[in-house]
Amino acid sequence: MSRFILAVSGGVDSVVLMEMFDWPEDTIVAHFDHGIRPSSSDDCAFVRHLAERHGWSFVFERAALGASCSEELARRRRYDFLFRTASKYRAELVTAHHADDCIETIAINLLRGTGWRGLSPLSNPRVFRPMLQLFKSDIYRFAAEKQLIFRLDQTNNDTQYLRNRLRERLRSLSTAQKQQLLALYHAQLSLKTDIEQALQGIVGTRNYLPRRLFNAEIDDARCEILRFFLASHGIALTRPQTEHCLAEIVKFTPGKKYSLDKTHFLQADRQNYRIVEK
């Protein structure tokens, strides 16, 4: 897949993303207008102009989420649009996430009581992130050198968002400290790859899961097996949801079902758990 879709908000990060790399002529610029700020339509017009200046196609979607919208909902709606667009055009999604984004996300996950996966964020294989080795200061430096014009999002200063409050506290970290955190992040990414390869070997590609895999008493291992199995069939559960599912199904008698989502059950027979449609 050689075609790219650049996720561009109009802020400094995504504008630098457009300018720093040599993207092909058939690149597509995608913009999601949250409708959170009155000026969001101006952002959309600005990004459209940037795309046209490069001779690239421009696609956008608007949602009237309103000023009270949570950061998580806005993120989900944006990625829903971006992944749909990438699928439609059979292209690789590219975002402007950078090293400071990575550190902030790890800090947020730790505050929320993350499991090991929360220490390796921004690692979705469906997204290409070429700026993860750059710090925000590098991005501003490039923008200044190239005299780039970009939009300022005033919600980045809104302390109702946890990320903004954390960002202010993380500014005191030195570059050396940030580099150490990134080294730990990359070590965790490597560990994540090893764990997922091991899980793939256990789960395979079958549409059932042997009940004997849950005879062990280590709940963390059982949760990881169950979560990986469900995710491999397009069913994404959070850690608490997976733990609840596990606690229920280990007590199941043959024929009993557990509702996974709107369209699927997990059904037990004498030897296996199977995913069945409702």
**Residue 199 binned pLDDT confidence (cut-offs 50, 70, 90):** very high
What's the CA gap between 72 and 105, in Å, rounded? 12
Q: What's residue 152's pLDDT?
A: 86
SS (H, E, C) 162-185: HHHHHHHHHCCCCHHHHHHHHHHH
For residues 188-212, average pLDDT: 92
pLDDT > 90 in the chain, percent: 70
For residues 59-67, average pLDDT: 88
* 93's tokens: 């999604």
Q: What's residue 154's pLDDT?
A: 66
Average pLDDT of the residues of the chain: 91
Q: What's residue 114's pLDDT?
A: 76
Alpha helices (runs of H) in the chain, residue ranges in sequence order: 12-20, 40-54, 71-88, 99-111, 136-145, 162-170, 175-203, 219-231, 239-249
Quick check: 1 pLDDT over 60?
Answer: no
Nearest to 151 by CA among 54, 19, 46: 46
Q: Alpha-carbon Rg of the chain, whole angstroms?
A: 22
Q: Which residue has the higher pLDDT, 72 or 129?
A: 129
**Residue 70 binned pLDDT confidence (cut-offs 50, 70, 90):** confident
Within a 10 A sphere around the Cβ of 185, how many other Cβ atoms?
Answer: 20
Strands 257-259 and 208-210: what pairing?
A: unpaired
Buried b (16+ CB within 10 A) or exposed e, 39-65: ebeebbebbbebbeeeebebbbbebeb
CA 61 to chain centre: 19
What's the CA gap between 214 and 217, in Å, rounded? 8
Nearest to 89 by CA among 4, 23, 8: 4
**Residue 98 binned pLDDT confidence (cut-offs 50, 70, 90):** very high
Tell me the per-residue pLDDT of 32-55, one tens digit each, with 9 for 90 and over.
998 877 788 899 999 999 999 999
Q: What's residue 105's pLDDT?
A: 92
Nearest to 153 by CA among 34, 64, 48, 16: 34
Q: What is the pTM of this model?
A: 0.82
